[in-house]
């Protein structure tokens, strides 16, 4: 299972909402994608029904709401916001 690090506020690639997101590789092997907490939970639910397993390890994932590790892509269009 992939552990996530929710460390940026940006547009989720799955639902399009501006939320706290994490970088992941779900659905692709070569590209980084951004997923919010709600979409990660939904993906896990769908995977649990389809395969009996979860893709994301949300119990051991980390969420930053602010501080030095948090990136706000709604204000900063820096390099960190691209992935």
**pLDDT, tens digit, 9 for 90 and up, residues 9-53:** 999 999 999 999 999 988 877 788 999 999 999 999 999 999 999
DSSP lists the bridge partners of residue 36 as: 21
Buried b (16+ CB within 10 A) or exposed e, 12-42: bbbeeeebbbbbbebeeeeeebbbbbebbee
- How many structural domains compose the chain? 1
Give the residue from 51, 29, 48 showing the smallest Cα distance to 40. 48
Residue 51 within a domain: yes
Average pLDDT value for residue range 1-7: 93
The domain of 24 spans 5-70
The pTM (predicted TM-score) of the whole model is 0.83
In a domain, 12, yes or no: yes
Cβ-contact 18, 10 below 8 angstroms: yes
What pLDDT sits at residue 25? 87
Task: Kindly state whether residue 77 falls inside one of the protein's structural domains.
Answer: no
Question: Which residues partner with 34 through β-bridges?
Answer: 23
């Amino acid at each position: 299972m992939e552990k996530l690090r929710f460390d940026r506020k940006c547009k989720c690639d799955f639902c399009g909402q501006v939320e706290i997101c994490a970088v992941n590789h779900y659905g692709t092997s070569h590209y980084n994608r951004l997923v919010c907490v709600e979409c990660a939970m939904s993906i896990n639910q769908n995977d649990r029904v389809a395969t009996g397993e979860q893709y994301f390890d949300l119990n051991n994932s980390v969420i930053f709401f602010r501080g030095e590790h948090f990136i706000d892509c709604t204000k900063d269009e820096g390099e960190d916001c691209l992935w």
